[in-house]
Structure 1
Amino acid sequence: VPKEPFVWDKIEQFLSLLPDPYSSEDKQARFTNSFSSLTKLRIEYERLKSHLSQTKSPVVFAHNDLLLGNVIYNKDEGTISFIDYEYAAYCYQAFDIANHFNEFVGISLEDIDYDKYPCEEFQLEWIKVYLAIYLDIDHPSDPLIYKVYTEVQEMSLLSHFLWGIWSLVQYEHSDIDFDFGRYAEIRLNRYFELKDKIFKQLS
């Protein structure tokens, strides 16, 4: 299996599946009102890739969909296990962490609340514990912890973009009783809200 980050090919796959136009006038009008055009999203994808593909975050075998519902804690045994490996593949280490943190805000549309997004202090402590286990060392250095923290902030954009585009595909094709159009708006609006600040930090 090639040890290349799956996420770029996956986003390109999702972009290729987006209808142009949507099958109903109402869906197309909502898409146009929220995102302007498919061309705009493709241009945004290329910009995102040009910034983040230069990351120094290592490529590891990752779950890539660690929402809290996919993390099973056995209190009696003191163990944690993961389920739903549909998107498991090689990807940036920081992407898997960023995606996990993004999912803290909730899954159902009624419950999504970005006040639940983990604060810097929580993330730094989480990353410290993660690196201690990953590297098999007692005390990861502060510069290393902050390096990974910075990479995670950058990769949070990629997580929002991936699942926003995925949701736009579901908006056209899924029969599930869920407002995928609204979920796409939430994830991509968050992306556009954060991108300038994070891109500025990268430049």
Structure 2
Amino acid sequence: MQDVVLVRIYGNKTELLVDRDNEVKSFRVLQAHRCAPALYCTFNNGLCYEFLQGTALEPEHIRSQPVFRLIAGQLAKYHAIHAHNGWVPRSDLWLKMGKYFALTPKHFSDPELTTEVPSPRCLREELLWLQQHLCQLGSPVVLCHNDLLCKNIIYNKEDGNIKFIDYEYAGYNYQAYDIGNHFNEFAGIDEVDYSQYPGRGFQLMWLRSYLEAYKEHKGQATNVTDGEVETLYVQVNKFALASHFFWGLWALIQAKVSTIDFDFLGYAVLRFNQYFKMKPEVAALTLPE
């Protein structure tokens, strides 16, 4: 087991969804900051890298002590990696969502579920609303993982550390998106249950832990005010909407191109349903004065 390497082969048509050059670039940056395993080689349709010892987590693990604090600390470490040469990073979230929207198929083979998929016109209106609403929140653009589901979190109990794997979607994005996306993943994938989305009390603990680590990595004073936690709470829950929307569009495309045996269309419907369910409550949240 000490000499195991991991070889990953890209799936069918995944280049429509993933920028492979960007994936390797993110991998190298993260490796340079000791946040990723060693990358041994890349080839046309895959990668070979170091195998990380540990356990891929399940939804019940990520809310437990000390695991959630380790996750918050590791994500803070990612977010504190500074863009070099004074370059000011920009998020490509809206560009990517626009691209995904253009790729979504108009017809599906399952007529029952098709009626539950929002219409292209509805999706376009929501995408516009999201961009206008979320761009005003002032969430900083940082280096994000962007796909922090349980299976991408490796916990090494012996060493007491957490590492993230899978950098297909990594890149510069809004800080609050990365955290909101992780909170959405508390619901799991195989048996999705959005009642598991973390409540306000847990979120405030998690966010305070994250902000302390983030400030420490940035070389700032680590005292965190209630106002800072509350601001991040509002930003994160609003950006959780964008995460539902993003993966909803993603799943619609996968429903057409993927060869994996998974109900992508059903998953898309789940994500969009949760988006519309969350939207009124989340849209009403306001940033503290």
TM-score normalised by length of structure 2: 0.65
What SS class does the counterpart of residue 282 from structure 2 fall into? helix
Provide the aligned length of Structure 1 versus Structure 2.
197
Please tell me whether residue 14 in structure 1 is matched to residue 100 in structure 2.
yes
List per-residue Cα deviations over 1:177-200 (Å, max 9, x = no partner): 000011001110000111122223
Q: Which residue of 110, 134, 137 corresponds with 1:55?
A: 137
Deviation at 1:87? 0.5
Give the partner amino acid of 1:187: R
Would the alpha carbon gap of residues 2 and 87 (structure 1) be closer, same or farther in structure 2, given more than 3 Å must change? Answer: farther
Q: Residue 35 of structure 1 contacts residue 41 of structure 1 at CA under 8 Å; is this kept in 2?
A: no
Q: Residue 163 of structure 1 contacts residue 184 of structure 1 at CA under 8 Å; is this kept in 2?
A: yes
Deviation at 1:71? 0.7
Give the partner amino acid of 1:88: A
Provide the rounded CA distance (Å) in 1 between the counterparts of 2:282 and 2:175. Answer: 18
Would the alpha carbon gap of residues 122 and 56 (structure 1) be closer, same or farther in structure 2, given more than 3 Å must change? Answer: same
Provide the rounded CA distance (Å) in 2 between the counterparts of 1:160 and 1:147. Answer: 21
Higher mean displacement: 174-183 or 12-21? 12-21
Q: Which residue of 152, 155, 176 corresponds with 2:239?
A: 155
Q: Determine the structure 2 residue equivalent to 1:115.
A: 195
Q: How does 1:1-203 map to 2 (within 5 A)?
A: 3-22=89-108, 24=109, 26-27=110-111, 30-31=113-114, 33-108=115-190, 111-136=191-216, 137-202=221-286
Provide the rounded CA distance (Å) in 1 between the counterparts of 2:157 and 2:113. Answer: 45
What SS class does the counterpart of residue 35 from structure 1 fall into? coil
List per-residue Cα deviations over 1:35-76 (Å, max 9, x = no partner): 342122111111111111212111100000000111111000
Higher mean displacement: 136-145 or 62-71? 136-145
Provide the rounded CA distance (Å) in 1 between the counterparts of 2:170 and 2:207. Answer: 21
Provide the rounded CA distance (Å) in 2 between the counterparts of 1:2 and 1:37. Answer: 36
TM-score normalised by length of structure 1: 0.91
Give the partner amino acid of 1:131: L
CA RMSD in angstroms, aligned pairs only? 1.7
Q: Residue 105 of structure 2 contacts residue 252 of structure 2 at CA under 8 Å; is this kept in 1?
A: no
Deviation at 1:2? 6.6
Would the alpha carbon gap of residues 198 and 19 (structure 1) be closer, same or farther in structure 2, given more than 3 Å must change? Answer: same
Provide the rounded CA distance (Å) in 2 between the counterparts of 1:138 and 1:20. Answer: 50
Q: Residue 14 of structure 1 contacts residue 166 of structure 1 at CA under 8 Å; is this kept in 2?
A: yes
Would the alpha carbon gap of residues 2 and 174 (structure 1) be closer, same or farther in structure 2, given more than 3 Å must change? Answer: farther
Q: Which runs of 5+ in 2 are unaligned?
A: 1-86
Higher mean displacement: 111-120 or 173-182? 111-120
- Bigger Rg over Cα: 2
Structure with the larger helix share? 1
Same amino acid, percent of matched pairs: 44
Q: Which runs of 5+ in 1 are unaligned?
A: none
